[in-house]
């Protein structure tokens, strides 16, 4: 009995887990930093109430939490992405939002709906907490902030067969890696090193300036959801698979070496996705926590 359990545990450790982590730490940090600058007063108040003390009021401090717990909360690991059938460059909720056991809703867009719905039921003022016992709103906030980031990483809505680029081995300059990791981390890390004096906060400031100077006309389109929905993750996912096909997979076949040409042409895509992720996370939280004020007063 004991032996068998040890063997099962041992086998579990040997199974190559799909290593589809979200944007790297830097990407999630950037999205949440940008987001915090766009929060309404109500939303900022609610977020600060919900953040764990260790975050010291900084949403960005907990934006990689969902990656840290994904092996402890095994059920959550499918919630980081939504892959499409191979070579399909469009996304459809009913077809694509499931885990590897085909359980529906278990994907990044389903998770965004789930945690949006949970937070809408939150009563931050704490007057009717018996309604809220089923949810941990601190976790809901940390999951939501992370998954809104993930759904904006183009290869989080990539093809199923290559695990969103995880099984496409490439070189990033001289370093051996895979295509998914290039989009999670390497592009951002190389940009920070090359253009931003090795300081992520300078890159974040440049993106923030771009939002106000260059993309100000686009921001309300980014924020908007049809039918006044609180969140519209299907739209973000559709954009991602389209960008994955046009930019991420293109000229990145197994074994290829990606260098300046790929880096410099893809970096603006990454920067814009970080901007959109940040602006939209704020828009979602702003919508959640105004409807919430009403609930709290009822």
Ligand X SMILES: *[C@@H]1O[C@H](CO)[C@@H](O)[C@H](O)[C@H]1NC(C)=O
The verdict on 72 binding ligand X (CB under 6 A) reads: no
**Shortest reach from residue 160's CB to ligand X, in Å:** 18
41, 53, 130, 213: which one binds ligand X (CB under 6 A): 213
189, 210, 290, 293: which one binds ligand X (CB under 6 A): 210
6, 75, 100, 129: which one binds ligand X (CB under 6 A): 75
**Shortest reach from residue 105's CB to ligand X, in Å:** 4
| Contacting residues for 182 by C-beta, under 8 A, at least 6 apart | 165, 170, 172, 252, 258
Binding part of the chain for ligand X, among 37-45, 53-61, 124-132, 133-141 by CB under 6 A, reads: 133-141
* C-alpha span between 11 and 32 (Å, rounded): 37
Binding part of the chain for ligand X, among 27-35, 205-213, 255-263, 286-294 by CB under 6 A, reads: 205-213
* C-alpha span between 279 and 32 (Å, rounded): 9
Q: Where does residue 174 rank: exposed (0-12), middle (13-18), buried (19+ CB within 10 A)?
A: exposed
The verdict on 292 binding ligand X (CB under 6 A) reads: no
Binding part of the chain for ligand X, among 33-41, 84-92, 202-210, 249-257 by CB under 6 A, reads: 202-210
Structure tokens at 92: 């459809």
CB 147 within 8 A of CB 66: yes
- In the sheet that holds 169-172, the strands lie side by side as 175-178, 169-172, 257-258
Kindly state the DSSP code that residue 159 receives in the 8-state scheme: B
The contact set with ligand X (CB under 6 A) reads 52, 75, 79, 105-106, 110-111, 114, 136, 138-139, 206-207, 209-210, 213-214, 227-228, 268, 271
């Amino acid at each position: 009995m004991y032996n068998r359990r040890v063997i099962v545990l041992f086998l579990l450790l040997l199974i190559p887990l799909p290593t589809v982590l979200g944007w790297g730490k830097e990407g999630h940090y950037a999205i949440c930093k940008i987001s915090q600058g766009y929060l309404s007063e109500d939303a900022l108040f609610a977020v600060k109430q919900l953040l764990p003390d260790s975050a010291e009021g900084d949403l960005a401090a907990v934006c990689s939490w969902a990656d840290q717990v994904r092996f402890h909360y095994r059920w959550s690991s499918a919630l980081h992405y939504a892959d499409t059938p191979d070579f399909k460059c469009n996304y459809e909720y009913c077809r694509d939002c499931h885990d590897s056991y085909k359980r529906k809703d278990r994907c990044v867009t389903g998770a965004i709906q789930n945690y949006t719905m949970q937070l809408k039921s939150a009563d931050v003022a704490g007057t009717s907490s018996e309604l809220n016992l089923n949810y941990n709103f601190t976790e809901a906030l940390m999951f939501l902030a992370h998954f809104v980031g993930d759904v904006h990483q183009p290869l989080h809505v990539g093809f199923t067969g290559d695990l969103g680029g995880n099984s496409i081995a490439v070189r990033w300059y001289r370093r051996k890696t895979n295509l998914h990791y290039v989009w999670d981390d390497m592009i951002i890390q190389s940009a920070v090193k090359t253009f931003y004096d090795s300081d992520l906060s300078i890159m974040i400031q440049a993106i923030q300036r771009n939002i106000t100077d260059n993309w100000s006309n686009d921001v309300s389109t980014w924020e908007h959801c049809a039918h006044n929905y609180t969140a519209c993750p299907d739209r973000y996912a559709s954009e991602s698979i389209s960008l994955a096909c046009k930019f991420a997979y293109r000229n990145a076949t197994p074994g290829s070496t990606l260098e300046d040409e790929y880096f410099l042409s893809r970096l603006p895509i990454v920067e814009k996705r970080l901007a959109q992720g940040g602006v939209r996370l704020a828009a979602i939280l702003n919508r959640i926590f105004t409807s919430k004020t009403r609930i709290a007063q009822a």
